[in-house]
Amino acid sequence: MLKLDAQHHPVIDLKATVFCIECGRRLIVQHTRTRTGRVYEYFVCHRRRDTVCQQRKALPIALVEQRVEDLYRTIELDPGQREGIEQIVLVKLHRQQAVDDERLTQITVEARTVETNQAKLIEAYCADAIDREVFLTHQRRLNAEQASLVRERARLESENTEIRQRVRDALDLLQDVHATYADAPVTVRKQLNRAIFAGIFLGPEPGQIRAELNEPFASITQPG
């Protein structure tokens, strides 16, 4: 077991989050112990041994953690930005809502037709106009149509509300997220990293950092 320096701050688990900017492979943790027993931790490209990747430098973990923390400044929203984005997203959702409402009206009409046909079918069967086999076949088909319309209605009615809620939650999270992240315990930092970033791609130079965000964060931070 490694004994970490007592002064050492708790290490954030970035393993699932950071990747090599050259080759896109994971960065893995390596430890080095000095003669005085001090342990240094680095991230290195997982592929650097098989000579595929040119990125050979070791990145000190503390430095990577700092760069990840700094990255949060670039995605955080102040209240004004948040409101602006919320408006854009809500307008988009509003347009979708109009399309959905049209379909919902159509579903009501279709559902009525199915009901009418069900009634006609029963009538025909009772009047001995069709035999039992034909009756059952048509009844099954109409029941399936009805069930499918009910499912579609439920989906359309909940979808917009759910998306709106997800966007609001994401916006809540991004507002002042840098401060939130900086003050958070390591477990929460790890959760934030995983929730927001699909991957953070890093190289040794300060400018070598590129982030890929999960949805809905990606569309929120680059509204088009």
Interface residues toward Zn ion, by CB under 5 A? 20, 22-23, 45, 47, 53, 55
Looking at 11-131, list the stretches that DSSP marks H as alpha helix, in order from N- to C-terminal side. Answer: 61-75, 79-126
- Rounded to the nearest whole angstrom, what is the least distance from the CB of residue 224 to Zn ion in the complex? 31
Residue 211's H or E segment, with its range, is strand 209-213
- Cβ neighbourhood burial of 12 (10 Å; 0-12, 13-18, 19+): buried
Residue among 46 and 168 whose Cβ is closer to Zn ion: 46
- Rounded to the nearest whole angstrom, what is the least distance from the CB of residue 49 to Zn ion in the complex? 10
Name the β-bridge partners of 223.
Answer: none
Residue among 45 and 59 whose Cβ is closer to Zn ion: 45
Residue 164's H or E segment, with its range, is helix 132-174
Amino acid residing at 178: H
Residue among 4 and 28 whose Cβ is closer to Zn ion: 28
Phi and psi at residue 90, in whole multiples of 5°? -65, -35
What's the rounded Cα separation, in Å, for the pair 26 and 44? Answer: 8
- Rounded to the nearest whole angstrom, what is the least distance from the CB of residue 46 to Zn ion in the complex? 7
Crossing angle of helices 132-174/186-196, nearest 10°? 130
- Rounded to the nearest whole angstrom, what is the least distance from the CB of residue 45 to Zn ion in the complex? 3
Residue among 47 and 82 whose Cβ is closer to Zn ion: 47
Q: Two tokens at 90?
A: 């809500």
Residue among 23 and 163 whose Cβ is closer to Zn ion: 23
- Rounded to the nearest whole angstrom, what is the least distance from the CB of residue 23 to Zn ion in the complex? 3
